[in-house]
C-alpha cells in the first residue's frame, strides 16, 4: 500500500479514537448519554463554539480543555495533511499522465500488448528486457503500480476499443499481441487491429482449439495456444528429457553464455550474398548456424557450407552471447525481427 494511503488511514483512525475517547470521557465524568458526549466532543474539536450541552463540573471543564488542545491540534494536522495529499496526488497524477501520453505519442516500431494477464505479462516483460518498446492496454487499474514499477507504457481501457488501439499508436506499431483472457475478445481485437493497420504483425492467444481458425480468418499472422504448448512440453519432458534440458539452457537460461538467437541479414550488412563457408561465421565467431529461414519463408535446417546467405534471411545461431552480438553488428540488423509479418 502506498505511503500516503497508509498515512491517511492512520490519521482517520486516530480521529475516530479522539471522538470515541471524548464521548466516553463525558459519559464517565459528567454522566451524560453517549450521544451528548459525542456531540460535545465534535463541537469542541471542530471549534464550532456552541454552548455546552449542560453545565460542566470542574473535572469536566479540565477534560474539555485537554480535549480541545489535543483534538484541535490533531484536526489542523489532519486537514492540512489531507489537503496536501489531495493537491500533491492531483498534481502528480496530472503531470504523470501528461508525460505518459507524450511518451506513447512519440513511440514508434513498438509492440502493443492487449491484456496483462499471465500470458500478456510474460510477453511484455520479455520484450521489454531485449529491450523493445512496449505499450500495454489493460482494463484493470489495479495493475498501474506494477506498470510504473516495470516502467511500461500503458493505457487503462478496453483493448477491443478502436479508440484505445489508436491511442496506443497502432498506425506506428510493429506488432500486436492479442492476449486477452477471452477468445472472443482476441478475435475482435485482431479484426479491429488488422483494419487499422493492414501491415501489422499480429500474434494472438487461443484458449480453445476451435478459435485458432477464427483468429486466422480475422487476420492474425500467428496463433499460439498456451495450453497446447504446455501439454506438448510436459510430454516431451518425459519422452525427450535431454533435448528439453538443452533447449531450456540454450533459449531461456540468462545466466549462461550459451544462447540460441535469431539474427536477420540486413541490406547494409557486411555478410550477405555469400555462402555460409565464405562468411567464416564458424571460424571467426565460433557459432553454429542451426537453420536459415529464407526471405521466402523456406526453412533450411542444418545448412551445408555452400548455402548462400541473402538479405532478408534469418539465421538461427547457437553460441556465446558476446559472439552473437558481434555477428549481429556484421549482419546489419537486430535480433528478434518481425519483418515480412513472420515472427522469429
| Most distant CA atoms of the chain, gap in Å | 108
122 and 89: one domain?
no
- The predicted pLDDT at position 189 comes to 96
Q: Which domain holds residue 158?
A: 108-229
**Beta strands at 288-293 and 222-224: parallel, antiparallel or unpaired:** unpaired
Kindly state the average pLDDT of the residues 6-24. 84
Strand ranges in 84-237 using DSSP code E only, listed in sequence order: 111-114, 134-138, 153-156, 175-178, 201-205, 222-224
Does any domain span residue 239?
A: no
- 247 part of a folded domain: no
CATH number at residue 53: 1.10.287.70
Chain segment 69-106, per-residue pLDDT in tens:
888 888 888 777 777 666 655 555 656 677 888 899 99
Q: Which residue has the higher pLDDT, 144 or 197?
A: 197
Q: What is the DSSP string of 142-155?
A: GGHHHHHHHT-EEE
Q: With a cut of 90, say whether residue 247 has pLDDT above it.
A: no
φ, ψ (nearest 5 deg) of residue 277: -65, -45
Claim to verify: residue 267 and residue 333 sit in the same structural domain:
yes
Residue 234 lies in a domain: no
Whole-model pTM? 0.59
Check residues 247 and 129 and name the one with the higher pLDDT: 129
Asked if 137 and 167 touch (Cβ cutoff 8 Å), the reply is: no
148 pLDDT more than 90: no
Domain-embedded: residue 204: yes
- Please give the tally of structural domains in the chain: 3
pLDDT at 344: 34
pLDDT at residue 23 tops 70: yes
Asked if the model's pLDDT at residue 68 lies above 60, the reply is yes
Same domain, 88 and 116: no
Answer with the one of 50, 73, 103 that is the final residue of a domain.
103
The verdict on 124 and 220 lying in the same domain is yes
Q: Are 31 and 56 in the same domain?
A: yes
Do 217 and 128 reside in the same domain of the chain?
A: yes
- Taking only the tens place, the pLDDT of each residue in 174-225 is 999 999 989 999 999 999 999 999 999 999 999 898 899 999 999 999 999 9
Whole-angstrom distance, CA of residue 186 vs CA of residue 183: 5
- Looking up residue 298, the CATH number of its domain turns out to be 3.30.70.1450
Amino acid at each position: 500500500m502506498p505511503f500516503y494511503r497508509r498515512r491517511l488511514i492512520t490519521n482517520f483512525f486516530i480521529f475516530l479514537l479522539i471522538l470515541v475517547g471524548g464521548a466516553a470521557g463525558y459519559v464517565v465524568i459528567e454522566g451524560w448519554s453517549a450521544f451528548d458526549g459525542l456531540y460535545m466532543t465534535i463541537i469542541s474539536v471542530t471549534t464550532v463554539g456552541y454552548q455546552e450541552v449542560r453545565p460542566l463540573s470542574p473535572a469536566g471543564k479540565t477534560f474539555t480543555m485537554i480535549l480541545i488542545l489535543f483534538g484541535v491540534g490533531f484536526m489542523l494536522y489532519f486537514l492540512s495533511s489531507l489537503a496536501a495529499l489531495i493537491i500533491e496526488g492531483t498534481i502528480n497524477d496530472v503531470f504523470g499522465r501528461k508525460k505518459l501520453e507524450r511518451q506513447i505519442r512519440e513511440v514508434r516500431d513498438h509492440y502493443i500488448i492487449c491484456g496483462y494477464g499471465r500470458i500478456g505479462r510474460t510477453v511484455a516483460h520479455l520484450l521489454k528486457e531485449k529491450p523493445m518498446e512496449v505499450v500495454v492496454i489493460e482494463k484493470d487499474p489495479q495493475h498501474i503500480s506494477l506498470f510504473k514499477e516495470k516502467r511500461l507504457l500503458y493505457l487503462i481501457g478496453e483493448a477491443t476499443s478502436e479508440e484505445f488501439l489508436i491511442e496506443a499508436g497502432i498506425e506506428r506499431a510493429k506488432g500486436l499481441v492479442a492476449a486477452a483472457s477471452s477468445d472472443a475478445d482476441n478475435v475482435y481485437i485482431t479484426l479491429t487491429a488488422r483494419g487499422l493497420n493492414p501491415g501489422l504483425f499480429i500474434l494472438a492467444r487461443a484458449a480453445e482449439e476451435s478459435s485458432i481458425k477464427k483468429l486466422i480468418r480475422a487476420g492474425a499472422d500467428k496463433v499460439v495456444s498456451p495450453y497446447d504448448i504446455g501439454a506438448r512440453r510436459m510430454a516431451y519432458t518425459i519422452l525427450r528429457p535431454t533435448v528439453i534440458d538443452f533447449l531450456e539452457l540454450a533459449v531461456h537460461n540468462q545466466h549462461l553464455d550459451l544462447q540460441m538467437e535469431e539474427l536477420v541479414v540486413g541490406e547494409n550488412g557486411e555478410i550477405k550474398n555469400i555462402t555460409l563457408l565464405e562468411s567464416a561465421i564458424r571460424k571467426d565467431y565460433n557459432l553454429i548456424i542451426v537453420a536459415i529461414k529464407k526471405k521466402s519463408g523456406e526453412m533450411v535446417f542444418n545448412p551445408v557450407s555452400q548455402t548462400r546467405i541473402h538479405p532478408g534471411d534469418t539465421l538461427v545461431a547457437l553460441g556465446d552471447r558476446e559472439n552473437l552480438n558481434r555477428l549481429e553488428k556484421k549482419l546489419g540488423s537486430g535480433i528478434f525481427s518481425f519483418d515480412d509479418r513472420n515472427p522469429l
